Amino acid sequence: MEYYQVFQNRAVQTAAVITKFIPTLTVNGVTAAGLLTQSKALDTLAQSRDDALAASDAAVNAESLGQFAIHDLVLSLPHVAEGELDDNVPAESALIDLLAPVYSIVPRTTELALERGMKLKSALDKINPFLAAQTPVRPPVTSGGKGEADLVALMNAQPALEQAIEDMSAGVSSARTALRTAANNVDRLNKRFYVKLQSEARTNPALAAALSQIDTETVNLPGTLGIASIVQGGTDQLHLLVSYDNASYDGTLTNAVEWEVVGTDAGFTHTAAVDPSGNTLGPFAVGKTVNVRTRVTSGVGTTTGSIRTLTIQPPSA
């Protein structure tokens, strides 16, 4: 279960005892029914958080696929261009020289891939017209059916994709804060009701016995293992690459990653031990939606992380 569900379970137990023994008991004007209402509201807030996470994961994946596509083109197009040109022909040799600034940049990051792409565009702006002016006409430089126009479109789209990540991240932060704040309020109400019930139980043996029905030990459950990101990857771009929030990883506990394919699996039927450096899951078919979560188990019990969802998109190339 997730952390907020611990508070929900205790709220149900607490409300049951209150209703049976002291129906009029309140805490700061909140009745047992009010406690249950606040507890139930956590489900709506958790769904809002999950929706925000899904939107954020989709934005991260879209930017990642865009980066993959740019990376592939800035690596392949220069070699295709060099293969098309003859360095024994002075005019073509001069065009090959235009590729030197391109090769000088290794696209290890999105920023470097974009920088290499701009230099490649400058070279292709001269190479492609030269090829078109030849007799017979020689086709423009392409790789996998994609050329300069596709590269430019991808580079132009990248800033918006990066901004979408920032926007979605802000939404996730707000949704998480709303859930955490509301869950803490329910936790505090549970504890305050319990103190009042303990006080009343001093003169009520039946109530004192009933207090054992309220689970006060679940606060010692292990912490959840956070997922930092899930994106498509692998050589086929049809696998899911899962990275973790290392600050929440505890190697002394049993950590697992679980997943299900929506509409295919009957729940989280797939599991693997967590590799703190990241797990690769799949492959999955294009169009399939995959849910992923973590599970952490200790001698006390088990907690699960929030569900992360991603729909598999067509590979970038």
Which domains are assigned to the chain? 1-216 (no CATH), 221-317 (2.60.40.10)
Each residue's pLDDT tens digit, 254-289: 999 999 999 999 999 999 999 999 999 999 999 999
Q: 10 Å Cβ neighbour count for 9?
A: 16
Lowest mean pLDDT among 70-74, 167-171, 214-218: 214-218
Each residue's pLDDT tens digit, 49-64: 999 999 999 999 999 9
Each residue's pLDDT tens digit, 107-164: 999 899 999 999 999 999 999 999 999 999 999 999 999 999 999 999 999 999 999 9
Cα distance between residue 14 and residue 19, in whole Å: 9
Going by pLDDT thresholds of 50, 70 and 90, the confidence category of residue 216 is confident
Who contacts 62 (Cβ-Cβ below 8 Å, separation ≥6)?
161, 164, 313
Task: Count the alpha carbons within 13 Å of 247 in the hemisphere toward its beta carbon.
Answer: 1
DSSP state of 88: T
Give all strands (DSSP E) within 1-151, no chain letters.
142-143, 146-147
Who contacts 271 (Cβ-Cβ below 8 Å, separation ≥6)?
256, 257, 258, 259, 295
For residue 317, the model assigns a pLDDT of: 63
For residue 154, the model assigns a pLDDT of: 96
For residue 219, the model assigns a pLDDT of: 57
Give SS3 for 138.
coil
Going by pLDDT thresholds of 50, 70 and 90, the confidence category of residue 218 is low
